[in-house]
């Protein structure tokens, strides 16, 4: 076997009295060096049969060397750009006679040997410019010193290089099937099912292969290296060293390269690179990678409706940690089923139910000309968001909790589209009324504070005294009581806070009284009531309902009280 060596390694060898010869591959030494990946990080050596990762600064070329000592040697070189297009070329020049082992006399100084090798113009074998994974393969290559020159003109970037003189036996990259496309077998509003043919490396050669899927909304990726660069770009580039500085091989652990203490198998595909500082990569929210073992069918879920996604599949050899890309695909998820728009009738209350995080659309088209339009909304549970558009123009966008009324300027033959968006906490219920008659008030007016206050000093073994706020509008108030267990919690009370449930849902035995109340002086719009006939040491849930002229009621916040046990 032939070791691809850099003549610069001669600098590391002691001077002897006879000419130096580039050694052939020592398998024990080679295996030791491959296990210690740091050996290659900061040198211009391309080892035989191992992939190296490195870094290019923009507009700063980099050169690598290796030697093929015998003619008619098979040769394969693979260059993988990660996150920017590369310009690279492979050339060869004859080895100096002094390195052939056939000369005699005193050797030239090493610096002179190096200059002789690197200054001569070699014969160009191959060149490429782009961001594809590109290969140079030859079944019979001449002996000589091979140079690989790389340049990035767009930005600082990572890349990978693999070279071997035994391409037939090495085969570190998983082989693609005869049809390397990804098929979309099923398409839904939030799911896409993908299928692909297995890699022959797994099915025929029985090597350990796992498949990794990448999903994003921007474009397809040509290598897993490009995916990983995108996922960790913020941290990796921030930690890159400045051009021109000397740094040891171990400095590479500080700017995004995999740890060099573990083999590829131990390192694992899903573990992130280690950085010099204590910081974890920040994946882009629109780029996701998932490895699924050796299955060749997978359903991607939790996608957004009516959205285009790009899907890439990579076969990864878990022994070598090297990968091959299938031909990526893209698909657009189906649209959400179009919701039926509810028509609102002038002056009539409409009940609306909205699923958690759901949306409902309502339409109001007044039959007569109008100067103003009033929307009254009663949110029964959590807050909901309301948007009102008139002929496409946004007039209103607010969150509504409890009862709210909005008065908007009208327009002849105008049509209003109302969009209601539910709460993130749970399902929403509400009542809504639209009218062009400003005096039409179906919902009662409410004070800003709808709490019920209990007076602890007036509490007895058989009665409690409470108070609540009213408004300047004369309304009917009804108070109800219900005995509850001592372990009745605030959480249970919160679950029963449906403000739209009226007194008609209560038992007659729970009713305490009803009365009318208002005050022109809003500061004095307070009423009190003593509830009698209670049992000593018992807990009661009190509810106050205010009933409007249209018969619709709104419940105040429930109040939990307890009578004294001893008097």
Q: How confident is the model at residue 96 (pLDDT cuts 50, 70, 90)?
A: low
- The pLDDT score that the predictor gives to residue 121 is 65
Q: Lowest mean pLDDT: which of 59-68, 400-409, 434-443? A: 434-443
- The pLDDT score that the predictor gives to residue 43 is 59
Q: Is 84 helix (H, G, I), strand (E, B) or coil?
A: coil
Report phi then psi at 544, rounded to 5: -115, 130
* Residue at 475 is within a domain: yes
Mark which of 131, 148, 170 sits at the end of a domain.
170
The answer on 532 and 401 residing in a single domain is: no
Question: Is residue 292 scored above 70 in pLDDT?
Answer: yes
* Residue at 109 is within a domain: no
- The pLDDT score that the predictor gives to residue 455 is 95
Mark which of 297, 321, 336 sits at the end of a domain.
336
Q: How confident is the model at residue 116 (pLDDT cuts 50, 70, 90)?
A: low
- CATH code of residue 193: 2.60.40.10
The answer on 550 and 495 residing in a single domain is: yes
* Residue at 504 is within a domain: yes
- % of the chain beyond a pLDDT of 90: 31
Concatenate the DSSP letters of all residues of 325-339 into one string: EPBPEEEEPPPPPPP
The answer on 512 and 427 residing in a single domain is: no
509, 442 in Cβ contact below 8 A?
no
Q: How confident is the model at residue 111 (pLDDT cuts 50, 70, 90)?
A: very low
Instruction: Give the chain's domain count.
Output: 4
The answer on 331 and 188 residing in a single domain is: yes
- The pLDDT score that the predictor gives to residue 418 is 93
- The pLDDT score that the predictor gives to residue 539 is 93
Phi-psi region for residue 201, left (φ > 0), alpha (ψ -120 to 50) or beta? alpha
225, 321, 508 from 268: Cα distances, Å = 14, 8, 69
Q: Cα separation of 457 and 464, whole Å?
A: 9
**What residue numbers bound the domain in which 549 lies?**
452-562
Q: Mean pLDDT in the chain?
A: 78
- The pLDDT score that the predictor gives to residue 187 is 92
- 118-173 pLDDT per residue, tens: 556 678 899 999 888 888 998 888 888 888 999 999 889 889 998 888 887 777 88
Question: Is residue 98 scored above 80 in pLDDT?
Answer: no
The answer on 505 and 480 residing in a single domain is: yes
- The pLDDT score that the predictor gives to residue 274 is 35
The answer on 315 and 215 residing in a single domain is: yes
* Residue at 267 is within a domain: no
The answer on 346 and 330 residing in a single domain is: no
Pairing relationship of beta strands 342-344 and 359-364 according to DSSP bridges: parallel
The answer on 141 and 81 residing in a single domain is: yes
- 323-339 pLDDT per residue, tens: 999 999 999 999 877 77
- The pLDDT score that the predictor gives to residue 493 is 66
Question: Is residue 528 scored above 90 in pLDDT?
Answer: yes
Q: Cα separation of 125 and 417, whole Å?
A: 68
Distance from the Cα of residue 364 to its chain's centroid? 39
* Residue at 240 is within a domain: no
Mean pLDDT of 216-240: 73
The answer on 197 and 319 residing in a single domain is: yes
Q: How confident is the model at residue 283 (pLDDT cuts 50, 70, 90)?
A: very low
Q: Which helix (H) or strand (E) holds 117?
A: helix 110-119
Report phi then psi at 442, rounded to 5: -90, -35
- 170-188 pLDDT per residue, tens: 778 898 999 999 999 999 9
354, 383, 384 from 425: Cα distances, Å = 12, 10, 11
- 271 vs 199, higher pLDDT: 199
- The pLDDT score that the predictor gives to residue 183 is 93
- 8-49 pLDDT per residue, tens: 333 333 333 333 333 344 445 444 444 444 444 445 878 888
Mark which of 302, 336, 370 sits at the end of a domain.
336
Q: Cα separation of 299 and 103, whole Å?
A: 66
- The pLDDT score that the predictor gives to residue 312 is 94
Among 162, 183, 149, which residue's Cα sits nearest to residue 64?
149
Q: How many CA atoms lie within 13 A of 181 on its CB side?
A: 6
- 350 vs 9, higher pLDDT: 350
The answer on 420 and 305 residing in a single domain is: no
Q: Cα separation of 338 and 530, whole Å?
A: 53
- Residues recorded for the chain: 567
Pairing relationship of beta strands 134-141 and 183-187 according to DSSP bridges: unpaired
* Residue at 24 is within a domain: no
Mean pLDDT of 351-377: 88
- 57 vs 170, higher pLDDT: 57
Count CB-CB contacts under 10 A for residue 231: 20
- CATH code of residue 389: 2.60.120.680
Residues 6+ apart with CB under 8 A from 352: 342, 360, 362, 420, 429, 430, 431, 432
194, 381, 382, 419 from 426: Cα distances, Å = 33, 9, 8, 18
- 34 vs 418, higher pLDDT: 418
* Residue at 246 is within a domain: no
The answer on 418 and 537 residing in a single domain is: no
* Residue at 254 is within a domain: no
The answer on 525 and 416 residing in a single domain is: no
Report phi then psi at 457, rounded to 5: -70, -25
């Amino acid at each position: 076997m032939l070791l691809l060596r850099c003549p610069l390694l001669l600098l590391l060898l002691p001077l002897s009295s006879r000419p130096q010869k580039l050694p052939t591959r020592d398998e024990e030494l080679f295996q030791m060096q491959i296990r210690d990946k740091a050996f290659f990080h900061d040198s211009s050596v391309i080892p035989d049969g191992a992939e190296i990762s490195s870094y290019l600064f923009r507009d700063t070329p980099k050169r690598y060397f290796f030697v093929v000592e015998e003619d008619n040697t098979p040769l394969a070189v693979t260059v993988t750009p990660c996150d920017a297009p590369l310009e690279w070329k492979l050339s060869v020049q004859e080895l100096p006679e002094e390195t052939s082992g056939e000369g005699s006399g005193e050797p030239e100084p090493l610096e002179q040997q190096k200059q002789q090798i690197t200054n001569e113009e070699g014969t160009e074998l191959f060149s490429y410019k782009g961001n594809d994974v590109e290969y140079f393969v030859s079944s019979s290559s001449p002996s000589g010193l091979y140079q690989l020159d790389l340049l990035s003109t767009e930005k600082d970037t990572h890349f990978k290089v693999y070279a071997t003189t035994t391409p037939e036996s090495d085969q570190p990259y998983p082989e693609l099937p005869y049809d390397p496309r990804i098929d979309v077998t099923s398409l839904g509003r939030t799911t896409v099912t993908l299928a692909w043919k297995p890699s022959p490396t797994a099915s025929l050669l029985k090597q350990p292969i796992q498949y990794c899927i990448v999903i994003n909304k921007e474009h397809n990726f040509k290598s897993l290296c490009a995916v990983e660069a995108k996922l960790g770009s913020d941290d990796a580039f921030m930690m890159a060293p400045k051009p021109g500085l000397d740094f040891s091989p171990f400095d590479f652990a500080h700017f995004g390269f995999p740890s060099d203490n573990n083999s590829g198998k131990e390192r694992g595909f899903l573990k992130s690179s280690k950085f010099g500082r204590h910081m974890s990569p920040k994946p882009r929210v629109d780029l996701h990678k998932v490895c699924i073992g050796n299955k060749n069918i997978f359903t991607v879920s939790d996608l957004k409706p009516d959205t285009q996604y790009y899907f890439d599949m990579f076969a990864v050899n878990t022994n070598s940690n090297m990968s091959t890309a299938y031909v990526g695909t893209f698909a657009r998820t189906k649209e959400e089923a179009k919701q039926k728009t509810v028509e609102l009738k002038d002056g009539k209350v409409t009940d609306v139910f909205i699923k958690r995080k759901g949306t409902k659309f309502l339409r109001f088209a007044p039959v007569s000309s109008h100067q103003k339009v009033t929307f009254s909304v009663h949110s029964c549970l959590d807050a909901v968001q309301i948007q009102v558009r008139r002929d496409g123009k946004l007039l209103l966008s607010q969150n509504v909790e409890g009862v709210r009324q909005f008065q908007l300027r009208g327009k002849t033959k105008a049509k209003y589209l109302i969009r209601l968006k539910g709460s993130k906490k749970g399902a929403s219920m509400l009542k809504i009324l639209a009218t062009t008659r400003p005096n039409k008030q179906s919902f009662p007016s409410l004070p800003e504070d709808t709490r019920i206050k209990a007076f602890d000093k007036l509490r007895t073994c058989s009665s409690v005294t409470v108070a609540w706020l009213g408004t300047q509008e004369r309304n009917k108030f009804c108070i109800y009581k219900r005995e509850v267990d001592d372990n009745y919690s605030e959480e249970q009370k919160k679950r029963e806070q449906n403000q739209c449930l009226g007194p008609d849902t209560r038992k007659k035995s729970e009713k305490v009284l009803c009365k009318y109340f208002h005050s022109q002086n809003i500061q004095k719009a307070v009423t009190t009531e003593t509830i009698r006939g209670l049992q000593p040491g018992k807990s009661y849930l009190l509810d106050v309902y205010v009933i409007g002229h249209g018969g619709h009621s709104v419940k105040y916040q429930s109040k939990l009280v307890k009578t004294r046990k001893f008097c």
